[in-house]
Amino acid sequence: MRITRDLLHRIAEDTVKERAHMDDTIIAAYLHGTVKEGDDPVLGGAADIDIVFIHENYDREREIIRMTEDVHLDIEHHSKALYQPPKELRTRPWLGYAIYNCHLLYDPQHFLDFTQAGVRGLFLHYENVLARAETLMNRSRATWLHFHNREAAFGPEQVRMYLQAVEDAVNAVACLYGPPFGGRRFLRQFKQLVEAQGVPELYKPVIQLVCGDLFPDGAAAVEEAKGWMLEWSDDFYRLNENYSVPAQLNYHRLAYYMRGYEAMLGSDEPETALWPLLDTWTLMAETMPSQSGTWQAVCERIGLTGKGFDGQLADLDALLDQIELLLEAWEPPEVGLG
């Protein structure tokens, strides 16, 4: 089957129509993510479709639904209370931008029309843009302080906190110019952004924080990372066979991840595969710590645990200093974003 943006849109529309007919608690639904706009939603021949249903009252968990081996639905369920009052969403980096940019799929009560209008008013105003960036910047700095002021207890929780701090730092920059990044394309999107905005010097420090000294080794690093990918898939299988898994690690996302890794490792930017690999593998290690031996070795190899962590922490401090200066000097463009 040929996967196109139009096909993915049609699947989203049909899904929402069917769900809304069956569930009278749904008051609205919207599409977001790469299917809505931006990069080609297909990476390595696989794609997901991000849909949010808004209910009178939230009582559902996130769902992963297989359409084909290469396409799945990623459905979130929210309470309408999450979106009130709309003007406060203007300073929320993730939910604010989701509503600002979303494609409405179902809205008979005009709840989303009203909410989106409230969010879009002054959303690109200087103070709101800076507030979104500073929220993430401050959260990343708080995590750095947490590690700086105590001896690290190495394990999945510590690595998760560290990766979240890196993600927050990157998205503090992203929010100056548009929406925050996440998922498989996280590093590639950041590289494209900093090059377009004239601050390419920010990319290498981020790669150091995620990959350590791995990728200067060139082809040898790619082969090493391919080995990790296979170990990752083994853990993924074991996790789904023996544990209750979070939605991000649902079995129907296996091809989505593996084909993405293969595409990125075979590209001119192989280092970009490390972010989704480490992010999901750390979540696996939190879920089944008894099976995390290879994950532990990889983290120590990169410097996310063990003797190398102090160096990574110092590099994170230096990056945060650079980003703080960028935020202090930032001035809004004459023409609005978006």
For residue range 59-103, list pLDDT tens digits in order.
789 999 999 999 999 999 999 999 999 999 999 999 999 999 999
Q: For residues 116 and 8, what is the distance between their CA atoms, to the nearest angstrom? A: 23
* 174 plus 264 within the same structural domain: yes
- Please identify which residue in the block is written with the tokens 């696989």: 46
Instruction: Please report whether residue 269 resides in a domain.
Output: yes
Instruction: Please report whether residue 336 resides in a domain.
Output: no
Q: Which of 178, 172, 121 is nearest to 332 (CA)?
A: 178
* 189 plus 286 within the same structural domain: yes
* 210 plus 279 within the same structural domain: yes
pLDDT digits 0-9 by tens, 199-248:
999 999 999 999 998 887 678 899 999 999 999 999 999 999 988 899 99
Q: Which of 66, 98, 120 is the last residue of a domain?
A: 120
Q: For residues 312 and 205, what is the distance between their CA atoms, to the nearest angstrom? A: 10
Q: Residue 337's pLDDT band (boundaries 50, 70, 90)?
A: very low
Give the full edge-to-edge strand order of the sheet including 26-32: 63-66, 71-79, 47-55, 26-32, 103-106
Residue 335 has pLDDT above 50, yes or no: no
* 61 plus 207 within the same structural domain: no
User: What is the tally of structural domains in the chain?
Assistant: 2
* 181 plus 50 within the same structural domain: no
Q: Which of 120, 141, 157 is the last residue of a domain?
A: 120
* 168 plus 298 within the same structural domain: yes
CATH code at position 103 = 3.30.460.10
Q: Are 210 and 181 contacting, i.e. CB atoms less than 8 angstroms apart?
A: no
Q: Are 268 and 316 contacting, i.e. CB atoms less than 8 angstroms apart?
A: no
Instruction: Please report whether residue 268 resides in a domain.
Output: yes
- DSSP classification of residue 36: T
Averaged confidence pLDDT in the chain: 93
pLDDT reported for residue 150: 84
* 38 plus 113 within the same structural domain: yes
Instruction: Please report whether residue 309 resides in a domain.
Output: yes
Q: Which amino acid is at 94?
A: W
Q: At a CB cut-off of 8 Å and minimum separation 6, what does 67 contact? A: 11, 49, 73
Nearest 5°: phi and psi at 33? Answer: 85, -165
* 153 plus 250 within the same structural domain: yes
Q: For residues 310 and 275, what is the distance between their CA atoms, to the nearest angstrom? A: 20
Q: For residues 166 and 140, what is the distance between their CA atoms, to the nearest angstrom? A: 7
Structural domain including 249 reads 126-325
pLDDT reported for residue 336: 47
Half-sphere exposure of 301 (CA within 13 A, CB side): 15
Instruction: Please report whether residue 47 resides in a domain.
Output: yes
> Which long-range CB contacts under 8 A does 319-325 form with residues at least 24 apart?
319/169, 319/202, 319/205, 319/206, 319/209, 320/137, 320/140, 320/141, 320/144, 320/169, 322/201, 322/202, 322/205, 323/137, 323/169, 323/172, 323/173, 323/202, 324/137, 324/141
| Alpha helices per DSSP H over 35-185 | 93-101, 111-120, 126-148, 156-177
